[in-house]
Amino acid sequence: MTRRCTLLLALASALFCFQTAALGISIFDVVNGVTQADYTGYHELLYVHNGNNRGIGGAQHDLARTNIFNTLQSFGLTTTLDSFTYNSTTYYNVVGRRVGTSRPNDIYIVGAHYDSVNNPGADDNASGVAGVMVAAHILTQYPLDATVVFIAFDREEQGLYGSFAYVAAHSGDNILGMISLDMIAYNPAGGSHNTALLYGYGQGNPLEDSLASALLTYGGITSTEYGALASSDHWPFQAQGKPACLLIEGAVWGNPYYHQQTDSVDSPNYIDYAYATNMTRGAVAYLAANAVNMGEVPEPNCIVILIIAGLARFARRRRA
């Protein structure tokens, strides 16, 4: 092998290694890890079939809570059962936390309530909790700049008691964005898989606008942005002045199984896993854009030009 060939191979190898190491992480890299199979698997852990009951005192309420805790803990999150008291009884939110490295005091939250109205609650709200679990599974695989907290709230159905308790205990936290995933899996037969509603501040708000953009770009979901709605776990955060919004299915107000025993995966043509996965992709994209350390992305074309120019100079010198 000639000296020129050796040098060319070395330079080509160095270029490849540099580009591979320096390109960093893209939002697409993160979001592409969100799969329908994972979403469906986590949803099944939440007792979503006919006869199941995740209501307060229901046979599957505590079992579901245990599955959520074990799943979040398995991802390496610092996972706790955060207690709160209502009517002299203790209840628990499940909280998984991953602390950011460079901005640990900047906090982003994705949450959903795991209690139901004495029914399987496949859509309301196992669908949102499964989204939180998927988000935790994906985001724990990447380095985080900011802190991300994954929360399954209890007693939402009786008055948002779990989320109010969390906000009261964390009033001093620098929460920069909170998303409540509440009912994200109902898409009527023949639906186009592409509509969602956002409630919080209305169009023009940075949080809603950013989430709407993420839903469209990474999930193919078109959102309509609205103002305040005091009926999901985003509301206690918003009421305390924290940036927060609700992501909910586009056809929610026409859902015939809402708070019924038929809110079950066994109801034909009801739970749309593809749609719920796309909703989750949008939420994960928002969190990735704000919390994941994407690395430094250079302009590889400029590097290529410089190396080619160097090779040309070397060749000219050899001919001289």
User: What is the rounded average pLDDT of the residues 7-12?
Assistant: 40
* CA dihedral angle for residue 67, residue 35, residue 191, residue 212, rounded to 10 degrees: 90
At residue 191, the pLDDT reads 67
The span from the CA of 93 to the CA of 169, in Å, is: 12
CA distances (Å), 40 to each of 128, 133, 139, 217, 256, in order?
Answer: 12, 11, 18, 22, 22
At residue 194, the pLDDT reads 87
Task: Inform me whether the pLDDT recorded for 85 exceeds 50.
Answer: yes
Going by pLDDT thresholds of 50, 70 and 90, the confidence category of residue 3 is: very low
At residue 128, the pLDDT reads 99
Higher pLDDT: 281 or 320? It is 281
Task: Inform me whether the pLDDT recorded for 48 exceeds 90.
Answer: yes
Q: 77-81, 177-181, 192-196, 221-225: lowest mean pLDDT where?
A: 192-196
- Candidates 162, 112, 119; CA nearest to 134 is 112
The span from the CA of 184 to the CA of 125, in Å, is: 8
Question: What percentage of residues in the chain have a pLDDT greater than 90?
Answer: 82
Query: DSSP character for 144?
Result: B
Share the mean pLDDT of the chain.
88
- Predicted TM-score (pTM) of the model is 0.86
Q: Each residue of 271-312: pLDDT tens digit?
A: 999 999 999 999 999 999 999 999 833 334 434 433 444 444
Contacts of 82 (CB under 8 A, 6+ apart): 92, 93, 94, 95, 165, 166, 169
Q: Which CATH architecture has domain 28-297?
A: 3-Layer(aba) Sandwich (3.40)
> Where are the chain's structural domains?
1-23+299-320, 28-297
Task: Inform me whether the pLDDT recorded for 205 exceeds 90.
Answer: yes
